[in-house]
Structure 1
Amino acid sequence: MASMPNDAELAYRPCVGIMLVNMDGQVFVGQRIDNNVEAWQMPQGGIDDGEDIKAAALRELNEETGIDHAHVEIIAKAREEHFYDLPAELIGKLWGGKYRGQRQFWFLARFLGTDADINIQTQHPEFRDWKWADPESLPDLIVPFKRKLYRDILQEFRTLI
């Protein structure tokens, strides 16, 4: 019988994330539908096998916010991948227990539309609410285990926002 891998042997799930900023320099954040934690996050999601990472970012953004690609301009891509580990109590419960956390490619994008172009009631809703937030508040809005990741992304994109 094969033994279960320990957490350190598990892989990181390949993902993308988008810091979507409006014309006022505020960042889109959504409140996840699948938990009751008072936490907000930027759109993110998995990369399909063989999918281009920029295409994955735009697809995930559309799937989670209803925002059409025509209303988005990619400004920058993070220089490096960013990683985060799940807390011990979540390892084995998410993503079929195959991953210890995520490795993410992040993009900064400008939102060219209006709030009317945002519709979180998508085919598979992920957010129950959304808002525009001050970039500096992002680390305080996210779940604790993603705070360093959000600080790092904010630091890298700050001058471009």
Structure 2
Amino acid sequence: MTPEEIAALPYRPCVGVVLTDGQGRVFAGQRADMADPAWQMPQGGIDAGETPVDAALRELREETGVKKRHVTVLAETADWLPYDLPPEVLPYRGKYRGQTQKWVLMRLDAGEEVIDLTHEDVEFSAWRWMTGAELLALIVPFKRPIYEAVLGEFGLA
């Protein structure tokens, strides 16, 4: 794709979930679809008619098995945060130049046994609690600025 073609593509509206254990650590999942270990927080697209919080709760359930009754929603980012996909990924993704995301901060109020990575969408092959600094060291480089902004806004950097 040419730079002009890429610039003409829209951003996909998405949400991200910062799930905290209430002790300053966040949930990080190891992507199941990547050969090299890649860690990230739950995220996904917003369906028609969904609010960002509704979409975040759905994505959390689909990817981790954690249900609405297991969490307390604490905050939402003030702004939409866009990022561009790297050029080598664009031909495979096709219709979007990147994503623009709202992030939702949630606290897990249930025990860790409610986390079930095989619940619905197998997005992650493993998970663990990480500090913001640990996660920033492991996130793919093109998402690092978004993660820095989100973790900073929520006081978890």
Q: Normalised by the shorter chain, which TM-score bucket?
A: over 0.9
User: 1:139, CA displacement in angstroms?
Assistant: 1.5
Worse-superposed segment, 136-145 or 57-66: 136-145
Residue 14 of structure 2: aligned partner: 15
Matches within 5 A, 1:1-161: 6-94=5-93, 97-158=94-155
Distance 2:146 2:83 in 1: 7
Q: TM-score, normalised by structure 2?
A: 0.94
Q: 1:78·1:107 contact (CA, 8 Å) conserved in 2?
A: yes
The 8 Å contact of residues 92 and 99 in structure 1, kept in 2 or not, is answered as no
Cα RMSD (Å):
1.6
The alpha-carbon deviation at position 123 of structure 1 amounts to 2.3
1:2-58 Cα distance to aligned partner (Å, 9 max, x none): xxx710100111000011000222100101111112221000000001212111000
User: 1:137-157: CA deviations, max 9, x gaps?
Assistant: 221111110001101111100
Whole-angstrom distance in 2 between the partners of 1:74 and 1:44: 15
Extract structure 1 runs of 4+ deviating beyond 2 A.
none
- Is this contact kept in 2: 1:73–1:110, CA < 8 A? yes
Residue 30 of structure 2 aligns to a residue whose secondary structure is: strand
State the AA in 2 paired with 1:34. Answer: D
Contact 1:139–1:148 under 8 Å retained in 2: no
TM-score, scaled to structure 1: 0.91
Unaligned stretches of 5+ in structure 1?
none
